[in-house]
Structure 1
């Protein structure tokens, strides 16, 4: 097992207690603590923690201050229930409370997967804290599943989205601390098949599995509850827990296009992303279309969500309304560009925050 103290000696962790929670925060300080060239804050995604960012944080220029915040119910942060009716606001409000407690002011935010939704929500609610956004493999601005290209819901109750869509065996293996690689539903197997592109290997794989295993499970955390639905596949999003935060009845951050002040956005994603895509097999409607779940009512009623197309459409509108964004699509890369293509990811991030790669 990787000892993070020896593998990443420049990074330390501490608990930051705010009025909302006690959050674990990792930090790689700048050489000039009083005047860093930039402060970058990383926000992880679902079934993970800030541990996934330690190699990247360690590799940043010495003039950069880098921090990563564990979300509630993940990593070393306090386990608190998640009110999914607020979308991702429980998480974004938590991150804002940490930034306020540390007195950081406006920072460069990096959000990965669900974490990208968290930082987009933070931009909507606390634009004073955002200098720029880097969206890595982001959840669609309209949430996960159950919407058409324009974000309109397929059913009033968001059938097929939320906590009911989680694989119960995977949840059980998370809860039991399964570190094996024998079954397709083990966290290690899910990491290999979904977090990264086929064939990618890492000396830190054991650490990534440990990170996944910090996920608090249960109705109020991962995956969340569900309710019965008259629409296919027979369930809809509940009111609590992680997956329900991204159900389209609870989450929509497309309003970033209407902000009066629009910080620059960089969007980085891999062409082989197995989780976020226009034909994602984490989307119940895609599973129905593929015949994996029986009874699919067809393309007119339950089409797969065009996640990439939705993100591009919203960001195009963001640019048309006075903002700026750039897209970096990495061929042969999966859901984790910062792990799989660290040099390209780091270069794009440094350009975003205004630091020349030559200056490193």
Structure 2
């Protein structure tokens, strides 16, 4: 871990009743300790990544802001435990809550990226006492990933085409093998360049981001998870175990934030060139079928691509109409990672929310 930490970031283990978490923190500069902070921001990473991705942003925050990033179970340097997908992302959100309880943070500003957006929405549902605001960064839809119509309803009862069966097996194998190369299109580095950031984006931290991706624990209990057979196209449905199944719409639905009695402000930030979360995502099996990449697609009436952005926007509009505060920010020339692609602009939006 020391070789992956930027100067000014410290790592420690936080033991809770649920698991032992690796936590990164930027100590308050004026004291060299956590001291007294005017605000605490807690960062939650996405799938196939870790808290390492948050370090430059943590360092850029004003001195009086306490910055904490938590590695989810099976990622980074946190303990590896099985993920029960039948709870949606609650294994993850309950873990984060346990860390915050152990640290005694009280209510914090939560920032969740991609799958981490789903984690912080779920935490808001289950532990609203811990939430001052939510920043959703290229978030998963409140209706999960794949298998739903525009209104969030299931396309079929078993949500075929979503969950663990949708992962590329060669990518999973290369993660497990620690592949740092760039020749194969399924290598973690190639996937980072093609899907995590906009075309042509470069950074001095690319090796660090690849190292972060390679910290992902693979297998049926972790990434990507298992699958079940179905007669519905494309022949697989979510299983009960592992990371991708936590976001299957049979288990995951955070649209209930609309009905919460207390509604903290929500900021939704995403890139216009996001390859993963959009209304025609090539990570969606139905979109791959519509494009002729996966054969046998039964057609738009049976298996339409998931309109992810439209779903997110509709739920957040309902949240605002029900008395909450919600704002959408789109960065042009930006992919799935606004916090690393547009750090100055991202920081300004985050500070405007938490100040």
TM class, shorter-chain normalised?
Answer: over 0.9
Find the residue that maps to 1:275 and give its secondary structure. coil
Answering whether residue 3 of structure 2 is matched by residue 3 of structure 1, we say yes
Residue in 2 that maps onto 1:358? none
Give yes or no for contact 1:2–1:207 (8 Å, CA) kept in 2.
Answer: no
Answering whether residue 248 of structure 2 is matched by residue 247 of structure 1, we say yes
Answering whether residue 311 of structure 2 is matched by residue 310 of structure 1, we say yes
Q: Cα distance, 1:29 vs. partner?
A: 2.0
Find the residue that maps to 1:314 and give its secondary structure. helix
Q: Distance in 1 between matches of 2:182 and 2:2?
A: 18
Residue in 1 that maps onto 2:15? 17
Segments of structure 2 that go 5 or more residues without pairing to the other structure are none
Answering whether residue 94 of structure 2 is matched by residue 93 of structure 1, we say yes
TM-score with structure 2 length normalisation? 0.98
Q: Distance in 1 between matches of 2:2 and 2:184?
A: 23
Q: Distance in 2 between matches of 1:311 and 1:259?
A: 17
Aligned ranges for residues 50-69 of structure 1 at < 5 Å? 50-69=51-70
- Stretches of 4+ moved more than 4 A in 1? none
Q: Distance in 1 between matches of 2:62 and 2:201?
A: 26
Segments of structure 1 that go 5 or more residues without pairing to the other structure are 355-360
Deviations 1:230-284 (A, max 9, x none): 1000000000000000000000000000000000000000010000000000000
Residue in 2 that maps onto 1:256? 257
RMSD of aligned alpha carbons = 1.1
Residue in 1 that maps onto 2:283? 282
Find the residue that maps to 1:3 and give its secondary structure. helix
Q: Cα distance, 1:2 vs. partner?
A: 9.5
Give yes or no for contact 1:124–1:256 (8 Å, CA) kept in 2.
Answer: yes
Q: Distance in 2 between matches of 1:86 and 1:214?
A: 23
Choose 335-344 or 31-40, whichever is displaced more.
Answer: 31-40
Q: Distance in 2 between matches of 1:228 and 1:3?
A: 43
Q: Cα distance, 1:49 vs. partner?
A: 0.1
Answering whether residue 225 of structure 2 is matched by residue 192 of structure 1, we say no
Deviations 1:260-317 (A, max 9, x none): 0000000000010000000000000000000000000000100000000000000000
Find the residue that maps to 1:40 and give its secondary structure. strand
Q: Distance in 1 between matches of 2:140 and 2:40?
A: 24
Q: Distance in 1 between matches of 2:255 and 2:231?
A: 28
Find the residue that maps to 2:24 and give its secondary structure. strand
Give yes or no for contact 1:2–1:206 (8 Å, CA) kept in 2.
Answer: no
Give yes or no for contact 1:82–1:220 (8 Å, CA) kept in 2.
Answer: yes
Deviations 1:94-133 (A, max 9, x none): 0000000000000000000000000000000000000000
